[in-house]
Structure 1
Amino acid sequence: MTATFLLVRHAAHDRVGNFLAGRTADVPLGRPGREQARRLASRLAGEEFTSIYASPRRRTQETAAAIAAASGVEVETTAALDEVDFGTWSGKTFDVLDADPLWQQWNAMRSLVRAPGGETMLEVQHRALALMETLARRESRKKIVLVSHADVIKAMVSHVLGLSADAWPRFDIAPASISAVAMGDWGAKVLALNEEIA
C-alpha cells in the first residue's frame, strides 16, 4: 500500500531571493509567478492526483488554486505545510540577516538552532512528515499534491534520503518545482527531485 506525494514549491513572487518572506503579511505571486503557476498546473494535469493540500500562505494558495483550476480537484489548507516560522527574522532582507550571528549559526546548524521567536527545522520536519504519514495511511494507492515552501520540502526530502536537516544546501528546490516521494508500510523513497517548470 503506497501513496505518492508530489511536493510542489509555490511559484515565484517578485522578491524571491531579496528578503525572507516567511510568515509576513501575505506575499502574492508576481506576474511571472502567475504564469509559472499556470505552466505548473498544465504539467500536473496528466498526473491523476486525487487531493491537493497547501500551506496557508498566499503564494502557496495562489499556486494551488492554479493547479485546482486545471484539475478540478479542491484545495485543502493545512498548517502542517506552512512556511518555517522564522519569528523576528520574517520580512528582513538577506543583507540584514547576513550581519546577524544567529542567522549564520542557523544556516550552519539548522537541526539545533531555533529562529528567534520561531521554530527549529526538526519541528518543521516533524509536522510535515506527520501529515505525510497520516495521508499515506488514509489515501493509500493515491497520488497527492502538497504545495509548500522550499525549506519545508527540503526537510521532507532530507528525511526520506536519511540526511540531516543540516543537509539543506546540498540540493535545490526551485520555485514551481516538483519533487516526488513514495511512502508506504515498507518505508519511503524519493522518485524525483526538483523538476523545474521553465
Structure 2
Amino acid sequence: MTTTFFLIRHAAHENVGSYLAGRMDGVCLGDAGKAQATQLGCRMAREPIVAILCSPRERTRETALPVALACGVGEIAICAELDEIDFGDWSGKTFDELNGDASWRAWNDQRQVARTPSGETMHDVQQRVVAVMNAVHEKHQNQCVALVSHADVIKAAVCKVLGLPAGDCFRFDIDPASITTIVSGDWGAKLIRLNEVA
C-alpha cells in the first residue's frame, strides 16, 4: 500500500527573497504568486488528488485554493505540522539585517544543531512533517495527497527520505510554487521528483 505525496511550496509572496516572512500574519501572494498558483492548479488537475493539507499561513492557503478547485477537493485541511519554521524574533527582518546576527549565521552554518530564537531545530521540523506524512499514509493508502507548505519544511522531509543530515538541506532548492513528489509505503519512502516547477 503506497501513498503519493505532492509537497508543494507556496507561491511567491510580495518581496519574496528580501525578508524572512516566517509566521508573520498578512503575508499574502503577490501578482506573480497568484499567477503561479493558478498554473499550479492547472498542473495538479492531472493528478487524482483526494485530499489537500495546508500550513496555516495565508500564502499557503492562497496557493492551495486553486489546486483544490482544479482537483475537485472540497475542503482544505489546515495542518499546524506543515507550518513554517517558528523563527521567533527573526521574523520580518531583512536578510541584510539577519546577516549581521551571529545567531542567524550559526543557524545557517550549523543547521544540524542550531535553534531559532523560538527554540525550534531542523530536527523538530523534520519530526513534525514526517509524523503528519505517516498519519496521512495510514489514512490514504493507494491515494494521492497534496501537502502545501514551506521550503525548509519540504527540505526536512526530503532529507529524511534520502537519509541526509538535516544540515544538507542547502544542497538542493525548493522554489516557490514547486512540486516535490514522494511515494511512501510500508517499505519506506522514495523521492520521485524534486522541485518540479509547473
Q: Please report the TM-score for the alignment, with normalisation by the length of structure 1.
A: 0.98
Question: Is 1:154 the equivalent of 2:155?
Answer: yes
Q: Give the secondary-structure state (helix, strand or coil) at the position aligned to 2:35.
A: helix
**Structure 2 CA distance for aligned equivalents of residues 29 and 194 of structure 1:** 19
Aligned to 1:69: 69
What is the Cα deviation at residue 71 of structure 1? 1.6
What does 1:91-110 align with in structure 2 at a 5 Å threshold? 91-110=92-111
Q: CA contact under 8 A between 1:88 and 1:118: conserved in structure 2?
A: no
Matches within 5 A, 1:50-69: 50-69=50-69
**C-alpha distance in structure 1 between counterparts of 2:185 and 2:138, whole Å:** 8
Q: Shift of residue 86 of structure 1?
A: 0.5
Q: CA-atom RMSD, angstroms?
A: 0.7
Q: How far apart, in 2, do the equivalents of 1:25 and 1:40 lie? A: 23
Please list every run of at least 4 consecutive aligned residues from structure 1 whose deviation after the TM superposition is greater than 3 angstroms: none
> Which piece of structure 1 moves more, 122-131 or 63-72?
63-72
Which runs of no fewer than 5 residues in structure 1 stay unpaired? Answer: none
Cα deviations by residue, 1:83-104 (Å, 9 ceiling, x for unpaired): 0001111111000000011111
For residues 166 and 7 of structure 1, the distance between their equivalents in structure 2, rounded to whole angstroms, comes to 20
Work out the percentage of aligned pairs sharing the same amino acid: 53
Residue identity matched to 1:16: V
8 Å contact 2:47–2:71 — kept in the other structure?
no
Structure 2 residue runs without a partner (length 5+)? none
Separation (CA, whole Å) in 2 of partners of 1:150 and 1:26: 18
Please tell me the residue identity of whatever aligns with 1:24: M
SS in 2 for 1:47: coil
- Map Cα deviations across residues 78-135 of structure 1 (whole Å, 9 max, x no partner): 0010000011111110000000111111001112111012411100110000000011
Cα contact 1:10–1:147 (8 A) shared by 2: yes
